[in-house]
A and B are shown apart, each in its own frame.
Chain A
Amino acid sequence: MKEIVIISGKGGTGKTSITASFAYLAGNDVLVADCDVDAADLHLLLKPDFGKEEDFYSGLIAKIDQQYCTNCGRCANVCRFDAIPFKNNHFVVDTIDCEGCAYCAKVCPTSAIDLLPAYSGKWFSSTTRLNTPMIHAHLGIGSDNSGKLVTKVKNEAKTLAESENKNYILIDGSPGIGCPVVSSLSGANFVVLVTEPSISGIHDLKRIYDLVKSFKIKAGCIINKFDINEKGTDEIMEFLKNEKIEHIASIPYNENFTNAMTNAQTIVEYDKGELTEILTNSWEKIKGIIA
């Protein structure tokens, strides 16, 4: 079983549309995992049935039991996050500002403060409209995206893929270069970097590849909208050559990317022209590289 992660650093490069197309092309061989939990969009294309759902908790949050509180104010005094305001004659915890450090609980003379696991979202085990299994998640508002939810999604995906004898796990990776993307990369067999030839696209590609390199994972690159800035594309090609990153494909600016999405279809279902051809070849190429 091979784990393929698709990442981009910067948002809006077409990462999710490409992941969905690969999922379509891989058919019965694949399990899909959406690790882009901040802005999960893959489900809009693959229409999973949200078959099974479970709450997810991460970090802690303080709760004051008013029955035992004597209003001494020590908790508010030690809190560095101004998360315990005095409202209507009571000290209360502001759930958005509380960082879960538990200092308040340590100093409370009547043990009126408990630290409870903080609800941070839900994860789902589904079957998509393509009949492939899919693991995905939603982060709650104001929740901190740590690597933890991503790890949960990946672990569930791995277990399920093993029991169903799938050849590939396709992972829509997390954005940015922080903890979540580290979690989506670890254990992967191949990384597909999706980029575009804009200043920020190139900048993010380089930052994210530093991370990939530190994991010693083999990588390939897809340049989307390569024809909007030829100088930028040249710079990317030069970078790929120097870093020995496989150039998988260059995709021209083409509004069928968006049109397919508007039709709630993958690109390879909607487009009957160059995009489908390029993506089909890309998937074959990736399979060849990791075989």
Chain B
Amino acid sequence: MKISIASGKGGTGKTTLSTNLASYLSQNLEVVLTDLDVEEPNSGLFFSGEIVHKEDKFKMIPEWIEDKCDACGICQNACKFNAVLQFGNFISVLPELCHSCYACSELCPTDALPMITKKMGELTHKKMGNLSLIESRLTIGEEQAVPLIKQTNIYVKKYLSSAKIHIFDSPPGTSCPVIEATKHVNFVILITEPTPFGLHDLKLAVDTMREMKKDFGVVINRFGIGNDEVINYCINNGIEIIAKFPNDRRVAELYSKGELLYLQIPEFAHELEKVKNYIYDLIEEFE
């Protein structure tokens, strides 16, 4: 069972839910938590596990071979991303802008731009008892999260597919990285706050899920502040509310120190139990 935790915007509790849920479920089952917020992965801040594996992740970029080049200009013309530019007899390749489409390389009549690997990020695999944490971090300056998200998913599929439950911490927003991080999962949990900002961002996230034809449910964070509009919206649109985490200043305090919440706040653990049961039902249905 693959579950993605997503939200329309940042700061609504995505990482709080993913880390606590993964840890909570791992009390009984083997769980893999994969942080796909590759620009700013911080699930790792909540766990002190043993690093079992670390590897560099690469993308393909063209490398210019001066001797073979006759400066015909086809490569520059083929590149729609300004990643290959010609300056007189010199070809400049800008790896951060390259989308690895291979057009310049394969259209070059003299094979002067073979594709080579370039590091775009790093994957870390940690283990704490039943829980595996996979975290990929994009190298600073790299602009494209999607290729690293793809490769991280490939790693998880290859080495950890035997785990019963997979939780994916998705990047915030509604753009391509979110779609890449959620398109392969069975179910998406959208987390939001019961405030006007929360409602507005939830609607964007719901539109995205509907466009992708994904099954999803909602978890409300900081329940008790704001108003009833998020709840009314969910009811009117037939969206299931899986749990409501109470608004509690201690949540902000514990999160700020990188500590798990359910161990110290019983009300939080109580709601987490609901999420767990919901997921168990999903597994049963699924199987």
- Chain A residues at the B interface, C-beta cutoff of 8 Å: 9-13, 16, 38-39, 41, 44, 60, 78, 80-81, 96, 99-103, 106, 115, 139, 141-145, 175-179, 196-201, 203-204, 225, 228-229, 232, 253, 255, 258-259, 261-262, 264
Contact B101–A229 (Cβ < 8 Å):
no
Instruction: Indicate if the CB atoms of A261 and B179 lie closer than 8 Å.
Output: no
Choice from B11, B99, B196 contacting A12 with Cβ under 8 Å: B11
Most chain A CB within a 10 A radius of its CB, from B45, B100, B197, B211: B197
B255 to chain A, nearest CB (A): 6
Query: B130 on the interface (CB 8 Å rule)?
Result: no
Task: Given A10-B40, A102-B103, A229-B253, check contact A142 B174 (CB 8 Å).
Answer: yes
In the A-B complex, the 8 residue pairs with the smallest Cβ-Cβ separation, listed nearest first, are A12-B11, A11-B10, A11-B11, A39-B9, A101-B101, A198-B256, A103-B103, A229-B256
CA distance A38 to B174 in the complex (A): 7
Contact A200 B40 (CB under 8 A): yes
Q: Mark B95-113, 1 if CB is under 8 A from A, else 0.
A: 0000111110011000000
**Contact in complex: B195, A258 (CB < 8 Å):** yes
Residue B258 lies at the interface, judged by CB distance under 8 Å to chain A: yes
Interface members, chain B 163-222 (any A CB < 8 Å) = 172-176, 179, 193, 195-197, 200-201, 204, 207-208, 211, 222
Q: A38-B175, A80-B100, A179-B143 are in contact. Are A100 and B39 (CB under 8 A)?
A: no
- Tell whether, in the assembled complex, residue A225 and residue B252 are in contact, meaning their CB atoms are under 8 Å apart: yes
Which among A96, A177, A196 is the interface contact of B179 at CB below 8 angstroms? A96
Interface residues on B, range: 35 or more
Residues in B with CB closer than 8 Å to A228 are: 249, 252-253, 256
The distance in angstroms between the C-alpha atoms of A16 and B99, with both chains bound, is 33
Are B80 and A262 in contact, with the CB atoms below 8 A?
no
Residues from chain B with Cβ under 8 Å of A144 in the complex: 175-176
Contacts of B173 in A (CB 8 A): 38-39, 145
Residue of A16, A201, A261 ringed by the most chain B CB atoms within 10 A: A261
Contact residue among B10, B103, B257 (Cβ-Cβ distance under 8 Å from A10)? B10
Name 6 interchain pairs, CB-CB below 8 A, sorted by A.
Answer: A16-B197, A38-B173, A41-B9, A101-B81, A102-B78, A255-B247
B258 in complex: contacting residue of A96, A199, A261, CB < 8 Å: A199
Contacts of B9 in A (CB 8 A): 11-12, 38-39, 41, 175
Main secondary structure of the interface of B (DSSP, over half): loop
CA distance A26 to B92 in the complex (A): 47
Answer whether A175 and B10 are a contact pair too, CB < 8 Å, given A10-B40, A101-B80, A262-B195. Answer: yes
* A11, B7: Cα distance in complex, Å: 11
Contact A103 B42 (CB under 8 A): no
Chain B positions near chain A (C-beta within 8 angstroms): 8-12, 15, 39-40, 42, 45, 78, 80-81, 99-103, 106-107, 140, 143, 172-176, 179, 193, 195-197, 200-201, 204, 207-208, 211, 222, 225-227, 247, 249, 252-253, 255-258
* A139 CA / B204 CA spacing, docked (Å): 10
The interface residues of chain B lying within 8 Å CB-to-CB of A60 are 80
Q: Is B201 a contact partner of A196 (Cβ separation < 8 A)?
A: no
Distance between Cα atoms of A114 and B99 in the complex (Å) = 19
* Chain B contacts for A179, CB-based, 8 A: 143
Does B197 contact A44, Cβ atoms closer than 8 Å?
Answer: yes
Residues of chain B within 8 A of A139, CB atoms compared = 174-175
* Bound-complex Cα distance A196 to B222 (A): 17
Look across to chain B and name the residue whose beta carbon is closest to the beta carbon of A231: B257
Rounded to whole Å, the gap between the CB of A227 and the closest CB of chain B is 9
Chain A residue with Cβ nearest B174:
A141
Contacts of B99 in A (CB 8 A): 99, 101
B197: which A residues are within 8 A, CB to CB? 16, 41, 44, 261
Taking the closest CB of chain A, its distance from the CB of B205, in whole angstroms, is 10
Assess whether A145 is in contact with B175, with CB atoms less than 8 Å apart: yes
Contact status B256-A199, CB under 8 Å: yes
Query: Which residue of B102, B226, B257 contacts A229 across the interface (Cβ within 8 Å)?
Result: B257
CB proximity of A178 to chain B, nearest CB, Å: 6
A103 contacts B256, C-beta separation under 8 Å:
no
Instruction: Across the interface, name the chain B residue whose C-beta is closest to A253.
Output: B249
In whole angstroms, what is the CA distance A41 to B8 when docked? 11
Most chain B beta carbons < 10 A, residue from A115, A258, A262, A264: A258
Question: With a CB–CB cut-off of 8 A, which chain B residues contact A101?
Answer: 80-81, 99, 101, 103
Cα-based distance from A196 to B252 in the complex (angstroms)? 10
Could you tell me the distance in whole angstroms from the C-beta of B287 to the nearest C-beta in chain A?
29
- Residue of B80, B106, B193, B204 with most chain A CB atoms under a 10 A cut-off: B80
- B204 in contact with A39 (CB, 8 Å): yes
Please determine whether A232 and B256 come into contact, CB atoms closer than 8 angstroms: yes
**Which residue of B81, B179, B196 contacts A262 across the interface (Cβ within 8 Å)?**
B196
Cβ contacts under 8 Å, A99 to chain B: 99, 101
